[in-house]
């Protein structure tokens, strides 16, 4: 059997059946979204950087289309357009996706699960991990490494620390983008950006003055100057951030906040221990992050109830998948010796549906299976076993 032929023969490929059967048994309906998709949602949600890996075309009406680079957004769009939109619904998929990968084939298979509309989030999260483990198990890969994290905890911490908005924005962004957060924390501790600021004197004079009055002053000055070309930003937006720089000038990230962030980021290991450490940290610093910790604890409870040996899972507060649409639980399954590429990766993205145009938030969680890695490393479930 050749795997490259599988996209056209998923109905008959035994390994495909073995992969999808547990999903079907759990009530997930096979989704088969169009291969040709509007490019806009992908560019809008993933940013311009994805453009270099997209196969783009423009049709006669001028609309930009692409071959689907992944299946989450197509499945979500079909769901949003259906009459079940807003209702709980689960989908599975297996099919080709198209991405330029510099030398490796651009057309490759992706499988996965999407669960939309379930309000029992912790249970749905745990179900994702259980199904993902079934998928790898079907290929004989039972000794996978389970890495988990929860970006909601970091968000809760930053919110509770009551930092200046500019620091809050920056820390959240760094966490999501998976650049070296520790390094950046050091940098903002040392305060301010590079180079000389021509407004330094003005900023120093405004520092500590009444914010409302200062804002009015800067806004007036800009209006007097006849500022018209503001490039989509309002004058008050500009004035507001301008004044924010005077607060930045007057000092760096408070050392106690820095200490707490570092202590938080160091928490990892067995989920039970991690929960205990998080509760101690919250109590010590009198931070209200209880709701996020409770959610983590409930999720771990559901995992255990699904027969997952949670002591085998590794929880890390600093685990993030580097994609800013995740909002909570995140996980990856790794096989030893497969480098950085996971076998399965997924998580919760409760913000995705509204970004795709849903009028009200719809919970969403799911995962993708790296079919190439799974079929290469695992035993073929279609062969005599």
Partner 1 sequence: MSAPFVVAVPSKGRLQENAEAFFTRAGLALAKPRGARDYRGTISGLDNVEIAYLSASEIAWQLSRGMVHLGVTGEDLVRESIVDADKRVLLIDNLGFGGANVVVAVPQAWIDVRTMADLDDVTTGFRAQHNRRMRIATKYINLTRSFFASHGIVDYRIVESAGATEGAPAVGTAEMIVDITTTGTTLAANGLKVLDDGVILRSQANLVASKDADWSGEARETARVILDHIAARARASKYREVRTRFKECDATLLAEAHNRFGVVSPFGGPTSSGMVTLHCPPAQLYALGSFLRAHGADTVSVASLDYVLDRDNPLFARLETFLRR
Is 324 among the residues that bind partner 1 (CB under 8 A)? yes
The answer to whether 235 and 222 have CB atoms below 8 angstroms apart is: yes
Q: 């998080």: which residue's tokens?
A: 278
Segment interacting with partner 1 (CB under 8 A) among 235-243, 306-314, 337-345, 372-380: 235-243
Residues 6+ apart with CB under 8 A from 123: 302
B/e letters for 330-353, b = 16+ CB within 10 Å, e = fewer, are: bbbbbbeebeeebbbbbbbbbbbb
The answer to whether 366 and 124 have CB atoms below 8 angstroms apart is: no
Binding footprint of partner 1, residue count (CB under 8 A) = 35
Smaller CB distance to partner 1: residue 101 or 233?
A: 233
DSSP state of 359: S
Is 244 among the residues that bind partner 1 (CB under 8 A)? yes
CA-wise closest residue to 230 among 245, 215, 219, 246: 219
Smaller CB distance to partner 1: residue 135 or 353?
A: 353
CA-wise closest residue to 370 among 2, 124, 3, 1: 3
Shortest spacing between CB 49 and partner 1, in angstroms: 6
Q: Which of 11, 195, 201, 339 binds partner 1 (CB under 8 A)?
A: 195
Q: Which of 173, 262, 376, 379 binds partner 1 (CB under 8 A)?
A: 173
Is 337 among the residues that bind partner 1 (CB under 8 A)? no
Shortest spacing between CB 319 and partner 1, in angstroms: 20
Please enumerate, as own/partner, the contacts of 348-353 that have beta carbons within 8 Å and a separation of 24 or more.
348/121, 348/125, 349/325, 351/325, 351/327, 352/45, 352/72, 352/73, 352/76, 352/325, 353/76, 353/80, 353/116
Smaller CB distance to partner 1: residue 138 or 152?
A: 152
Smaller CB distance to partner 1: residue 35 or 238?
A: 238
Is 228 among the residues that bind partner 1 (CB under 8 A)? yes
Shortest spacing between CB 254 and partner 1, in angstroms: 19
**Binders of partner 1 among 53-112, rule CB under 8 A?**
none
The whole-angstrom separation of Cα 63 and Cα 217 is 45
Is 376 among the residues that bind partner 1 (CB under 8 A)? no
Is 177 among the residues that bind partner 1 (CB under 8 A)? yes
The residue ranges that bind partner 1 (CB under 8 A) are: 43-44, 47-49, 51-52, 166, 169-170, 173, 177, 179, 193-195, 197-199, 222, 227-233, 235, 237-238, 241-242, 244-245, 324
């Amino acid at each position: 059997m050749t795997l490259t032929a599988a996209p056209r023969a998923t109905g008959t490929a035994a390994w495909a059946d073995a992969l999808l059967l547990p999903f079907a048994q759990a009530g997930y309906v096979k989704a088969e979204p169009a291969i040709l998709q509007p490019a806009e949602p992908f560019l809008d949600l993933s940013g311009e950087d994805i453009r270099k890996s997209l196969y783009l075309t423009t049709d006669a009406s001028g609309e930009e289309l692409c071959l689907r680079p992944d299946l989450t957004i197509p499945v979500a769009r079909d769901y949003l357009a259906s009459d079940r939109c807003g209702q709980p619904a689960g989908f599975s998929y297996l099919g080709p996706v198209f991405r330029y990968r510099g030398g490796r084939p651009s057309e490759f298979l992706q499988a996965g699960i999407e669960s939309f509309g379930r309000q029992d989030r912790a249970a749905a999260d745990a179900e994702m991990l259980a199904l993902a483990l079934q998928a790898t198990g079907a290929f004989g890969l039972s000794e996978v490494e389970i890495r988990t994290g929860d970006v909601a905890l970091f968000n809760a911490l930053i919110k509770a620390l009551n930092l200046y908005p500019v620091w809050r924005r920056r820390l959240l962004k760094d966490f999501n983008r998976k650049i070296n957060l520790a390094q950046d924390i050091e940098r903002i501790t040392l305060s301010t950006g590079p180079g000389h600021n021509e407004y330094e004197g003005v900023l120093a004079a405004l520092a500590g003055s009444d914010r409302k009055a200062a804002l009015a002053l800067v806004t007036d000055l800009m209006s007097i100057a006849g500022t018209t070309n503001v490039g989509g930003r309002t004058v008050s937006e500009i004035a507001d951030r301008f004044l924010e720089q005077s607060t930045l000038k007057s000092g760096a990230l408070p050392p106690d906040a820095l200490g707490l962030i570092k202590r938080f980021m160091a928490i990892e290991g067995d989920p039970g221990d991690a929960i205990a450490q998080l509760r101690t940290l919250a109590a010590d610093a009198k931070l209200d992050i209880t709701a996020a910790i409770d959610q983590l604890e409930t999720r771990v409870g559901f995992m255990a109830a699904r027969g997952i040996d949670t002591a085998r899972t590794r929880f890390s507060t600093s685990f993030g998948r580097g994609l800013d649409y995740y909002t909570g639980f995140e996980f990856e399954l790794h096989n030893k010796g497969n480098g950085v590429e996971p076998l399965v990766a997924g998580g919760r993205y409760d913000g995705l549906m509204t970004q795709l145009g849903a009028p009200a938030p719809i919970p969403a969680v799911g995962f993708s299976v790296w079919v190439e890695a799974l079929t290469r490393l695992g035993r073929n479930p279609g062969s005599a076993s």
